[in-house]
Structure 1
């Protein structure tokens, strides 16, 4: 029985590797073309948003200490993460983030990181002019906040209150609960507003959704879309390298020019 040559096995391996990887290479190329030909600011929806508004320097405000003292009356405040001046429907508002529970805070500090919005951080909104507490955003107020974010707001199509989302949702890894305010146009645009933080979080439209889908195919993270260290991507990267190397080996083994050089060397 005649043994098959090394070239046969290399050629066969190269063919099957190319077949398996060809579809993924197509997705990588398609995604790369879309990413490079689209303005990332438009993907983020910046062109749909109105200009940022600022408060006049003459504005009268109470001290944030007034809000903190009011909080201490009914809350066990361990420490304060931040006090930020934000705007809610034109009203200057303090956004106070604080920790309630020394044990939880000490644990996070010992681990070397501060808690995220999903941890023990609590939020209190307060009118910066009067110091009066402000409740989390209602549906009507969320719509007002969303409209003020749009450069040319169109009729509101629907409003949803989100308390949880999947890893594939377009509002993943953002503060919850949140209001999703969808406008009839442009591009099925949805503005997400955090109910507790009182602030705009994200704007999603069709261009972003196409980008997000191609990004999933690009990273091969079909669970969460943003993990570059997943096993599937690492495996395909290695297979891709083997495919390229096998192609170089095949060229070397089958090239007439290489054979001519070998003959000349042997004669010498």
Structure 2
């Protein structure tokens, strides 16, 4: 029995903190609506409406060499996004057919302010060549536009299209931290089938099973012996 108790105590010590992290993460992730985590409540939706009538005749004849054409909004204006067969993209003024220059920092700030629904002010605009971990799925370069609201919101603006690709805030950062603890992926924070979480989950199962074993030997079996002894004594009388 001593061996089983020691084993159970050591297993409990090893996985106790992780169980606490799982519970804490579950509370956080269920308490914060995912729309707020993704910043949708701070981002003004906009449509990208355009018409073939806006496209110059000379430019229309040149569209065949592109794989895909779509309308997007850029500085509150409908422009054309052309996607090539080599996965390249160009953004075109539909009336002239001219390629649009990359947004400046002040233009990226204007894009962010026009779409921002919060009460903060812009405090920093940076063109990033290295993408931070919180926006790791984006490709450089990208503008970060930071606001001084209570959750430190950051808009990530694509400099060619003017699209707001990602919204990050302290709500997302807290959520992401507990998500990392929850799935035990401390690097990429994406793989919830990683070996570590599997090992700890199996260990937690063993912990539970040994708990039932200890429950039997510490409580149920002694109580059974007492009952049997009492029954024998009554029969002896």
TM range (shorter): 0.7 to 0.9
Structure label with greater radius of gyration: 2
Hey, what's the Cα distance between the residues in 2 that align with 1:64 and 1:261?
97
* In 2, Cα distance between equivalents of 1:256 and 1:92: 75
Q: Does residue 222 of the first structure (1) align with residue 186 of the second (2)?
A: yes
Structure 1 distance, partners of 2:124, 2:203, is 46
- Distance in 2 separating the partners of 1:263 and 1:51: 72
The answer (yes or no) to whether the contact 2:128–2:143 under 8 Å persists in 1 is yes
* CA–CA separation in structure 2 for the residues paired with 1:145 and 1:45: 16
Deviations 1:202-240 (Å, cap 9, x if unpaired)? 111111111111111111111111111222111111111
Contact 1:66 1:131 in 2 (8 A): yes
Stretches of structure 2 that go unaligned for 5 or more consecutive residues are 233-237
Which residue does the alignment assign to 1:105? none
Contact 1:85 1:92 in 2 (8 A): yes
Q: Structure 1 residues 65 and 220, CA, compared in 2 at 3 Å: closer, same or farther?
A: farther
- Using the alignment, how far apart are the partners of 2:19 and 2:130 within structure 1? 34
Deviation at 1:257, TM superposition (A): 6.0
Q: Give CA-to-partner distance per residue, 1:160-219, whole Å, 9 cap, x none.
A: 1122235xx111112321100001224211100112343111111111111111111111
Please give the secondary structure, in 1, of the residue aligned with 2:62.
helix
Q: Secondary structure of the equivalent of 1:202?
A: strand
- Provide the C-alpha distance between the structure 2 equivalents of 1:244 and 1:158, rounded to a whole number of angstroms: 51
Number of residue pairs the alignment of both structures matches: 229
Structure 1 runs not aligned, ≥5 long = 1-6, 73-78, 101-120
- Larger helix share, 1 or 2: 2
Structure 1 CA distance for aligned equivalents of residues 147 and 223 of structure 2? 68
Match of 2:112 in 1: 146
Report the TM-score, using the length of structure 1 for normalisation: 0.76
Shift of the 234–262 alpha-carbon distance from structure 1 to 2, 3 Å rule, reads: farther
1:35 corresponds in structure 2 to: 29
**Aligned residue in 2 for 1:66:** 59
Within 2, Cα distance between the matches of 1:99 and 1:222? 37
Counterpart for residue 124 of structure 1: 90
Could you give the per-residue CA deviations for residues 48-93 of structure 1, whole angstroms, max 9, x where no partner exists?
1224345377x84217993682796xxxxxx62x322110111101
Map 1:116-195 to 2 at 5 A: 121-152=87-118, 154-165=120-131, 169-195=133-159
* Change over 3 Å in CA distance of 1:232–1:159 after alignment to 2: same
Assess if the C-alpha contact under 8 Å between 1:176 and 1:195 holds in 2: no
Partner residue in 2 for 1:90: 76
Question: Structure 1 residues 10, 40: closer, same or farther in 2, change over 3 A?
Answer: same
Normalised by the length of structure 2, the TM-score is 0.85
- The question of whether the paired residues in 2 share the 8 Å contact of 1:86 and 1:95 is answered with yes
